[in-house]
Amino acid sequence: MSSSPSSTTATKNTKWVTHLALSTDIILGGAKTENCVHEIDCSFDDAHGQIHKVALNCWARDVPEQGVYILVNVPFATHPLRLGLPDISGLRQIPDELDGSEGGATLPPGPVSLTGIGVIHTTSADRKSVVIKGQTYLNKTHQWQTWTINAAFPDTPKYAVWTTPGPRNLISFDCTVIKETGGRTFETALTRISLLGPAPGPLLQALGVVSPTTDDRAERIRQARAARQAPATTTPSTPEPAASKVQDMNPSDDDSKVPAAVARPVTPTPSQRAGKRVRHDG
């Protein structure tokens, strides 16, 4: 029985799914195989020559041969370092005469490139460096895995005026790996960054970008109500009225017992012609 459209859309956090993909040349080593699922020990080196060991998980009828391969936009997670290859045809093996194993000519190592969509966790004061977090779907075996990278603009005139968006924003970015710091976190150089919009609340909570206390809606409502009630409870201080005004506004008990004076009616002044008789000849 198919689910209703309302139940399907309710599970979606955002139209932008966070992900991280890696492109580089990688050395494939030994593999552990179970039901045609291969867990291969791999390694790649960065711009500083530092070697990083990573596990690659893929499904294939045959175990891939050991050697140097080129990967392009393969799902990548940093905690732990893991690659999820959806199809073995995505591997491109470098010929033996160019992989450096025989001491002959070798291809120069390419840069380790990362591309993806993530959430800005923190930023520096000058908005030149950020910490980006997200989750990427590797495969059916490992499902969603978390990744975290440190990214900063290169110190070149091209990026002199570039700045990053603020925290809790969803961005699309490209960067190159410089080196690995403690905690399996890569230092990278940003080459492109685009703002997609504010990250949704469920995604922020899933990544731990916002603390539960900050995102407590009930607590925010209580704080807002307390702020509105504060001006009503405080009575403004007014100067005391003068004594004479107080007596006029609040008469004493003795004054209230004295009856008010009644105005006497005024007798109208008689007309001057009222006492003079006038003779009428008839």
Helix (H) or strand (E) holding 204: helix 201-207
Indicate the pLDDT class of residue 89, thresholds 50, 70 and 90.
Answer: confident
Question: pLDDT, tens digit, for every residue of 197-235?
Answer: 998 888 888 888 865 445 556 766 777 787 778 655 555
Look up tokens 């490992």; give the residue.
142
Catalogue all structural domains in the chain, each as residue range(s) with its CATH number: 19-98 (2.40.50.730), 113-207 (2.40.50)
Predicted structure pTM score? 0.65
Average pLDDT of span 122-150: 88
Count of other CB atoms within 10 angstroms of residue 273:
7
Encode 102-114: b = buried (16+ Cβ within 10 Å), e = exposed.
Answer: eeeeeeeeeebbb
Q: How far is CA 222 from the centre of its chain?
A: 23
Q: When comparing pLDDT for 251 and 121, which is higher?
A: 121
Q: Given the DSSP bridges, would you call strands 67-78 and 37-45 parallel, antiparallel or unpaired?
A: unpaired
Encode 223-259: b = buried (16+ Cβ within 10 Å), e = exposed.
Answer: eeeeeeeeeeeeeeeeeeeeeeeeeeeeeeeeeeeee
